[in-house]
């Protein structure tokens, strides 16, 4: 649960970071980019169409890479795919913090779209339930559905799931607020705050492994 919270904070943070500081593009929420493409096609803004289409392509490539990392044949080279994904994300975001505003925004949004898709493809379950760390539409539906079941059927397990989903949603919102504020005040280096949160995630992941080596936790 704690790891899910940290990853959701990062998810919200990165979307706010790219939207506020990198040209109004959503790095995580590809639905938003598809909507923007639709509006731009309607108005003939073809340059903007390309600007929003490239992060979608990067997101798709990230999903493919995540699936390749998880293949049994890769275990020899990458024994712990989840930890490897977090370290990859840390490295990419750390480098992004050095890229100035004067550089093309597309470089940053593509890189963030890639690592975000690798994250969301690698961490898909929260205490046994499917969830998302980079967008909350599905989480919001699940939280509302579980709350309904808890209220109408007096189901304690549904109540617990509703609380977990709601916590993730609020964590994403907190990350978006933090990302928007810090990007406005600090600038490009605000992304290093997300790096710090991800480092905490790796530490948490490693600590949990030490406590229970026989339990595989997929958050």
Q: pTM for the full model?
A: 0.83
Cα angle vertex 44, ends 38, 48, to 5°?
A: 65
Residue 218 — very low, low, confident or very high, per pLDDT cuts 50/70/90? very low
How high does pLDDT run on average in the chain?
83
Instruction: Give the closest residue to 14 by CA, choosing from 120, 109, 138, 149.
Output: 109
Question: Would you state the torsion angle of the CA atoms of residues 123, 124, 128, 130, taken in this order, to the nearest 10 degrees?
Answer: 160
Question: Using one digit for the tens of pLDDT, what is the confidence trace for 172-215?
Answer: 999 999 999 999 999 889 999 999 999 998 888 766 655 555 44
The span from the CA of 135 to the CA of 128, in Å, is 18
């Amino acid at each position: 649960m704690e790891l899910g919270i940290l990853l959701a904070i990062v998810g919200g943070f990165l979307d706010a970071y790219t939207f506020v500081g990198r040209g109004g593009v959503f790095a995580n929420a590809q639905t938003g980019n598809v909507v923007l493409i639709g509006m731009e096609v309607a108005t003939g803004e073809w340059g903007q169409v390309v600007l929003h289409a490239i992060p979608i392509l990067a997101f798709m490539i990230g999903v493919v890479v995540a699936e390749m990392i998880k293949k049994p044949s890769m275990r020899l080279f990458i024994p712990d795919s989840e930890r490897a994904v977090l370290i990859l994300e840390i490295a990419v975001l750390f480098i992004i913090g050095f890229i100035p505003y004067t550089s093309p925004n597309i470089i940053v949004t593509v890189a963030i779209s890639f690592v975000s898709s690798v994250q969301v493809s690698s961490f898909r379950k929260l205490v046994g339930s499917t969830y998302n760390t980079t967008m909350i539409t599905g989480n919001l539906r699940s939280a509302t559905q579980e709350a309904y079941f808890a209220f109408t059927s007096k189901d304690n397990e549904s109540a617990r799931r509703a609380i977990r989903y709601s916590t993730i949603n609020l964590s994403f919102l907190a990350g978006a607020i933090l990302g928007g504020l810090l990007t406005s005040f600090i600038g490009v280096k605000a992304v290093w705050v997300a790096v710090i949160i991800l480092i905490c995630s790796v530490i948490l992941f490693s600590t949990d492994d030490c406590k229970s080596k026989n339990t595989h936790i997929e958050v």
